[in-house]
């Protein structure tokens, strides 16, 4: 039986780190679905096309190849903005659904994103909704930026996180929502190790041992 673990939540809540560790623990492949939206936006920027143009964006989503997800320039501010634009287009989301479902078909998977437990895998074996206060998430993102040599004001990064939260929650196509059967994990006061330990407790009995 292939196993699917869905991890959703807002920006910088710790989904990616947790998803990687859970995937290694349970011996499952991991897909960071945000990369699909980032790579789609990146293709459009390369072509000089408009990331908010539904026709161009859905063509770029359909043309996506696994190697596009390994590009080194997916986490720069221009790609953040383009990803948010393409993610609001229903035809893009539809084009990326098959990619996500095919990825998990053979061996199961841990997938992290915004709509995994609500839309992509509503029947997932286990769903976690990982969140934290905007201040804690802003500080984490600020530290990540600093580690990459990108200077920014903490207050500005927190303000951007709040704007992204509002965009993710308000968009008509697949808004960020906690699935009714998702287990909530608030990481405001937890580091990566404590988050992992708490997630294993929550998943106990839902996902068989690795
Ligand atoms: O962590 P951060 O929000 O900066 O980035 P991400 O998780 O890589 O997501 C990039 C963009 O894709 C965001 O605008 C998300 O709202 C969007 N996204 C989405 O719409 N659906 C997903 N399953 C994953 C990401």
Nearest to 65 by CA among 89, 98, 36: 36
Considering the entire predicted model, what is its pTM?
0.92
Domain that holds residue 170: 4-207
Q: Could you count the other beta carbons within 10 Å of the beta carbon of residue 181?
A: 12
Q: Which position has the higher pLDDT, 198 or 105?
A: 198
CB-ligand 1 contact for 114 (6 Å cutoff): yes
CB 13 within 8 A of CB 130: yes
The model's pLDDT over 78-100, given as tens digits with 9 standing for 90+, comes to 898 899 999 999 999 999 999 99
Looking at the structure of the chain, the number of domains it has is 1
Q: Is 125 exposed, middle or buried (0-12, 13-18, 19+ CB in 10 A)?
A: middle
CB 121 within 8 A of CB 7: no
pLDDT, residue 43, reads 96
The most distant pair of C-alpha atoms in the chain lies apart, rounded to whole Å, by: 49
Average pLDDT on 171-185 reads 93
- Separation of CA 197 and ligand 1 centre (Å): 25
CB-ligand 1 contact for 168 (6 Å cutoff): yes
Strand partners, 35: none
The model's pLDDT over 1-53, given as tens digits with 9 standing for 90+, comes to 569 999 999 999 999 999 999 999 999 999 999 999 999 999 999 999 999 99
Measured CA to CA, the distance from residue 52 to residue 3 in angstroms comes to 35
The model's pLDDT over 69-80, given as tens digits with 9 standing for 90+, comes to 999 999 888 898
Strand partners, 11: none
CB 79 within 8 A of CB 73: yes
pLDDT, residue 77, reads 81
Q: Considering only CA atoms, which residue is closest to atom 6 of ligand 1?
A: 34
CB-ligand 1 contact for 87 (6 Å cutoff): yes
Domain CATH number, residue 59: 3.40.50.300
- Separation of CA 127 and ligand 1 centre (Å): 17
CB 160 within 8 A of CB 106: no
The model's pLDDT over 102-156, given as tens digits with 9 standing for 90+, comes to 999 889 999 999 999 999 999 999 999 999 999 999 999 999 989 988 889 999 9
CB 5 within 8 A of CB 125: yes
Measured CA to CA, the distance from residue 128 to residue 6 in angstroms comes to 6
Measured CA to CA, the distance from residue 49 to residue 45 in angstroms comes to 6
Whether 210 shows a pLDDT value over 70: the answer reads no
């Amino acid at each position: 039986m292939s196993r699917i673990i869905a991890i959703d939540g807002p920006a910088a809540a710790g989904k990616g780190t947790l998803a990687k560790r859970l995937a290694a623990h349970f011996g499952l492949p991991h897909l960071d679905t945000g990369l699909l939206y980032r790579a789609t936006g990146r293709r459009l920027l390369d072509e000089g096309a408009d990331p908010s143009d539904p026709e161009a964006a859905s063509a770029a989503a359909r043309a996506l190849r696994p190697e596009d997800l390994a590009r080194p320039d997916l986490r720069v501010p221009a790609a953040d903005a383009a990803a948010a634009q393409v993610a609001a287009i229903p035809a893009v989301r539809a084009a990326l659904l098959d990619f996500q479902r095919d990825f998990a078909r053979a061996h199961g998977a841990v997938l992290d994103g915004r709509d995994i437990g609500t839309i992509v895998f509503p029947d997932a074996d286990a769903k976690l909704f990982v969140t934290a206060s905007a201040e804690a998430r802003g500080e984490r993102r600020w530290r990540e930026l600093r580690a990459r040599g990108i200077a920014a004001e903490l207050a500005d990064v927190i303000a951007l996180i709040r704007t992204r939260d509002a965009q993710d929650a308000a968009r008509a196509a697949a808004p960020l929502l906690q699935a009714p059967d998702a287990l909530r994990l608030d990481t405001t006061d937890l580091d990566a190790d404590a988050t992992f330990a708490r997630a294993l407790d929550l998943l106990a009995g839902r996902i068989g041992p690795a």
